[in-house]
Amino acid sequence: MATGNINVSVENIFPLIKKFLYSDHEIFLRELISNATDATLKLKHLARIGEANVEIGKPIIEIKANKEQKTLHIIDQGIGMTKDEVEKYINEVAFSGAEEFLDKYKDSDAKDSGIIGHFGLGFYSAFMVANKVEIFTKSWKDEPAAHWTCEGTTEFTLESHDRTERGTEIVLHINDEDKEFLEDNRINELLNKYNKFMPVPIKFGTKEKELPLPEDAKEDEKPKKVTVDHIINNPNPAWTKQPTDLNEDEYNSFYRELYPMQFEEPLFHIHLNVDYPFNLTGILYFPKLTQDLSVQKDKIQLYQNQVFVTDNVEGIVPEFLTMLRGVIDSPDIPLNVSRSYLQADGAVKKISNYITKKVADKLKSLFKNNREDFEKKWNDIKVVIEYGMLTDDKFFEKAEKFNLFPSVDQAYYTFEELEAKIKENQTDKDDKLIILYASNKEEQHSYIEAAKDKGYEVMLLDSPIVSHLIQKIEGNKEQKVSFVRVDAEQVDKLIDKGEETTSKLNDDEKEKLKTAFETHVTKEKYTVQLEAMDSKAAPITITEPEFMRRMKEMQKTGGGGMFGMGNMPEMYNLVVNTNHELMSDILQKNEDEQANLINQSLDLALLSKNLLRGEALTKFVKRSYEMIK
Ligand SMILES: Nc1ncnc2c1ncn2[C@@H]1O[C@H](COP(=O)(O)OP(=O)(O)OP(=O)(O)O)[C@@H](O)[C@H]1O
C-alpha cells in the first residue's frame, strides 16, 4: 500500500478561481468593496479600543473608473497593510486576515464590528475581470507604503512605495472582454444591487445638489447648486436600528428604498432581531398580494453584514413566507454551500423556525390588539396564512387562533367562534358539524339564499388554495367537521338531519316523471335524482357533489386530489323536487309540452348556477319569448 500527500499546485488555482469559484463575474466588485469596508471597520475598532491612536475622521470608500487606461479603482481609508502583511494576507491564497483579526480581538467584541471576510479568497475574484491587479497600501502603523503587482500568475512583485495617505487603493486593469465594468451604468447597477446598504459610505462620482434658498430670497431667485460626492449607499438601513427607534413612516420609507418601483404601501411589518443561538436581523413586510402568485418580482433580500448576497431565500425562509418582502441579514447562513445542504443545515432550520414563529406571533398580536383592522386586511393576507397552515404544521397550530372564516355577510369568525355559533343548527344526524360555504357570491347567489332561508350561516371561502386547506382542517378535526359548498346538494340535504319529507307523488308517478326527465336531458352530463322536498323549494336544482368538485379543484391547483380527477368531465346531479306543483303539471302534459316545460325549467336552473351559455342561452331566450307572447 502506498500513502502520500496529494500535491495541490498553486499554478492551478488561478484558472480555477476564474472559472469556478464564483459563477457570477460581477461579484468581484462586491468582494473588493467588502474588503475595503472590513479595512475601515477594523481601523475604527482599533481606534475605539485605544490600540490605534489615529484620527479616523469620516472615512469613505471611493470607486473610480478610468476608461482610457481601462482601470477600475477601489480606494479606502482603512487599516492598510505593511509590506509584511501583504506577503501574509495577499500572497497566501486562502489565508483570511479577517478571520485572524476576529480571533485576535475576540475579547474586545470584534465580532460585533460587522467584519465580512471569512475565507481569504474574495480578493482573488478580481482576476475574473482583470489581467493585472495592483495594490497600493499604507498601513496605519508607522511603516512605508507597499506596492504589489500581479498579472494573474503565481509571480508577483512587491516593493516599497512613496504613498503617504493611510488606506488601500486596488487597481484592476480590466480585460477587454470585461470592459462593461468600466461603464458608469454598469458600475452603478452593481453598486445598487450589492452595496446599497453597506456600512461605510461609498462614493461613485459627484452630483449636483441644490442648496436651500436663504430666508430673504427674492421670489424668482433660483437655488444655488453645488457639486457634492455621489454617495450610493445608505450606511444605516432601518433593519440595523432598534424597533423602538423607528416609527411607521420610517418603516414605510425603508420599504420604498428597498423596492423603488413598488408604489403600494405594505400592510404591516415584522422586525426581526435575535442574537442567540444565531445572529439575525431584518424586516419583513406583508405586501398586498394579487391572486396571481406567479408574478412576484420583488422578493425578500438576503444580506450578510449589510452586503447583498441573493434574493433567492429558498430553504432559509419557509416557502409560504417567500411571498413576503423585506430583508434578512445574518452572518450565520452558510452560503457557499449547495441549496440541498442548506436545507439540512441545523442552524438554517432554526432560522427558518424562528422566522415562522415571529410571523405567527405578529399576526396573533395584530389580531388581538386590533381585530377590526385585522379583519380589514384579511383579504390581502389570507393567502399567506392559508398557505402557511397548509404547509407547516407548527404554523397551523398557532394560526388556528387567528385564521378567519368570513361569512357572505362580512362577519368574521375564528373556527372556535364559528363552531359555537352554528353548532345547534348545523350539526347533522351523525353528529358532524357542517360548515357551509360559497366560493363566489354572485355565481352561487340562489344557493346562498336558499341556505340562508333555512337559517344557515354561509362562509365565503374564495382563495385559490382553499380546497386544500379545508381538506386539511377536516383531517385535523378527525372528520368531526365537514365543509360543504352550498351548491353541493339540494338545500334540504346540505345538512342531513335525517328528517324525511313525504312525497306528494306515488311510485308510479315518480317513475313516469323520472323517465320524462331522462328523455329530455343529456344523460352523460346529468344524473336525475327525485327528492321529496318542501313544496316551496326550487323545482329543479343542479348540484355538484362536494367530494368530486373538491378533488378536481385540488388537482388543478397542484398536489392533493385524486389521480385523473382533473380530467373528468363535468357531471352534475339534477335534483327534481317531486313536491313542487310544477311536477304534477308536467305529468299531465303531452310529450311535446313536457319537453318544453322540462327544458325551460332545466335552463332556469342552469341560469341560476351561471351555467347557461352560448347556443343554449339563445334557445332559452327564444323559447321564453314564445311562451309570453
Ligand atoms: N483593502 C484592504 N485593506 C486592508 N487589508 C486588505 C484589503 N483587502 C484585503 N486585505 C487583506 O487581505 C486578506 C485576504 O482578503 P480576501 O478578500 O482574499 O479574504 P477575506 O476578506 O479574509 O475573506 P473572503 O474570502 O470571505 O472575502 C483580508 O483578510 C485582509 O487582511
Ligand 1 atom 8, closest CA: 35
**pLDDT per residue over 216-265, tens digit each?**
888 888 888 999 999 999 999 999 999 999 999 999 999 999 998 888 88
When mean pLDDT is compared across 87-101, 187-201, 393-407, 504-518, the lowest value belongs to: 87-101
Please provide the average confidence, as pLDDT, over all residues in the chain: 88
Q: Whole-angstrom Cα distance, residue 243 to residue 361?
A: 16
Q: Please tell me the number of Cα atoms within 13 Å of 418 on its side-chain side.
A: 26
Close Cβ partners of 188 (under 8 Å, ≥ 6 residues apart): 204, 232
Helix (H, G, I), strand (E, B) or coil at 448: helix
Q: Whole-angstrom Cα distance, residue 92 to residue 127?
A: 15
Q: Is 308 in the pocket of ligand 1 (CB under 6 A)?
A: no
Q: Is 578 in the pocket of ligand 1 (CB under 6 A)?
A: no
333 CA to centre of own chain? 19
Q: Whole-angstrom Cα distance, residue 541 to residue 605?
A: 6
Pocket test for ligand 1, best of 89, 143, 170, 309 (most atoms within 8 A of CB): 89
Question: Quick check: 576 and 517 in contact, CB under 8 A?
Answer: yes
Instruction: Name the pLDDT band for 183 (thresholds 50, 70, 90).
Output: very high
265 CA to centre of own chain? 16
Q: Whole-angstrom Cα distance, residue 424 to residue 456?
A: 10
**pLDDT at site 456:** 97
Bridge partner residues of 116 (DSSP): none
Q: Where are the beta strands (DSSP E) in 279-332?
A: 280-286, 300-304, 307-310, 325-329
**pLDDT per residue over 343-375, tens digit each?**
667 778 888 899 999 999 999 999 999 999 999
Is pLDDT above 70 for 1?
Answer: no
Close Cβ partners of 550 (under 8 Å, ≥ 6 residues apart): 467, 470, 471, 561
Q: Whole-angstrom Cα distance, residue 166 to residue 588?
A: 107
Q: How far is the CA of 215 from the centre of ligand 1 (A)?
A: 50
- Exposure string for 512-527, b = 16+ CB within 10 A, e = fewer: ebeebbeebbeeeebe
Which residue has cell 313542487?
Answer: 580
**pLDDT at site 291:** 54
**pLDDT at site 10:** 57
Instruction: Name the pLDDT band for 454 (thresholds 50, 70, 90).
Output: very high
Q: Where are the beta strands (DSSP E) in 97-155?
A: 130-138, 145-150
Is pLDDT above 70 for 562?
Answer: no
Question: Quick check: 456 and 477 in contact, CB under 8 A?
Answer: no
Q: Closest Cα partner for 308 from 373, 416, 367, 232?
A: 232
When mean pLDDT is compared across 130-139, 565-574, 576-585, the lowest value belongs to: 565-574
Q: Is 120 in the pocket of ligand 1 (CB under 6 A)?
A: yes
Residue stretches of the annotated binding site: 31, 35, 76, 81, 96-97, 168, 339
Is pLDDT above 90 for 205?
Answer: yes
Ligand 1 atom 30, closest CA: 97
Q: Closest Cα partner for 505 from 604, 576, 573, 598?
A: 576
Is pLDDT above 80 for 616?
Answer: yes
**pLDDT at site 355:** 92
Q: Whole-angstrom Cα distance, residue 522 to residue 139?
A: 90
Ligand 1 atom 9, closest CA: 35
What is the C-alpha R_g of the chain? 36
Percentage with pLDDT > 90 across the chain: 59
CB-CB neighbours of 454 under 10 Å: 15
Ligand 1 atom 10, closest CA: 35
In sign, the C-alpha dihedral spanning 162, 164, 169, 175 is: negative
Question: Quick check: 447 and 494 in contact, CB under 8 A?
Answer: no
Q: Is 168 in the pocket of ligand 1 (CB under 6 A)?
A: yes
Pocket test for ligand 1, best of 96, 99, 165, 304 (most atoms within 8 A of CB): 96
Taking residues 392-419, what's their average pLDDT? 96
Whole-angstrom CA distances from 58 to 26, 37, 47, 140, 305 are 28, 13, 13, 15, 20
Q: What is the DSSP string of 23-35?
A: S-TTHHHHHHHHH
Q: How far is the CA of 76 from the centre of ligand 1 (A)?
A: 13
Taking residues 440-468, what's their average pLDDT? 93
Q: Which three cell numbers stand for residue 515?
A: 323517465
**pLDDT at site 6:** 60
**Which DSSP category does 89 fall into?**
I
Question: Quick check: 311 and 302 in contact, CB under 8 A?
Answer: yes
Is pLDDT above 80 for 576?
Answer: yes
Is pLDDT above 90 for 186?
Answer: yes
Q: Which three cell numbers stand for residue 125?
A: 475574484
Helix (H, G, I), strand (E, B) or coil at 550: helix
CB-CB neighbours of 10 under 10 Å: 10
When mean pLDDT is compared across 50-59, 61-70, 283-292, 432-441, the lowest value belongs to: 283-292
Is pLDDT above 90 for 315?
Answer: no
Atom of ligand 1 nearest to the CA of 124: 18
Q: Is 237 in the pocket of ligand 1 (CB under 6 A)?
A: no
Q: Is 88 in the pocket of ligand 1 (CB under 6 A)?
A: no
Is pLDDT above 70 for 300?
Answer: yes
When mean pLDDT is compared across 52-66, 108-122, 187-201, the lowest value belongs to: 108-122
596 CA to centre of own chain? 55
Is pLDDT above 60 for 70?
Answer: yes
The residue with greater pLDDT, 12 or 628, is 628
Taking residues 410-417, what's their average pLDDT? 96
| Residue type (1 letter), 219 | E
**pLDDT at site 608:** 85
pTM above 0.90, yes or no: no
Q: How far is the CA of 72 from the centre of ligand 1 (A)?
A: 18
Q: Which three cell numbers stand for residue 492?
A: 334540504
**pLDDT at site 560:** 55
**pLDDT at site 96:** 66
Q: Whole-angstrom Cα distance, residue 425 to residue 510?
A: 31
CA dihedral (470, 473, 475, 479) in degrees, to 10, reads: -90
When mean pLDDT is compared across 95-109, 279-293, 570-584, the lowest value belongs to: 95-109
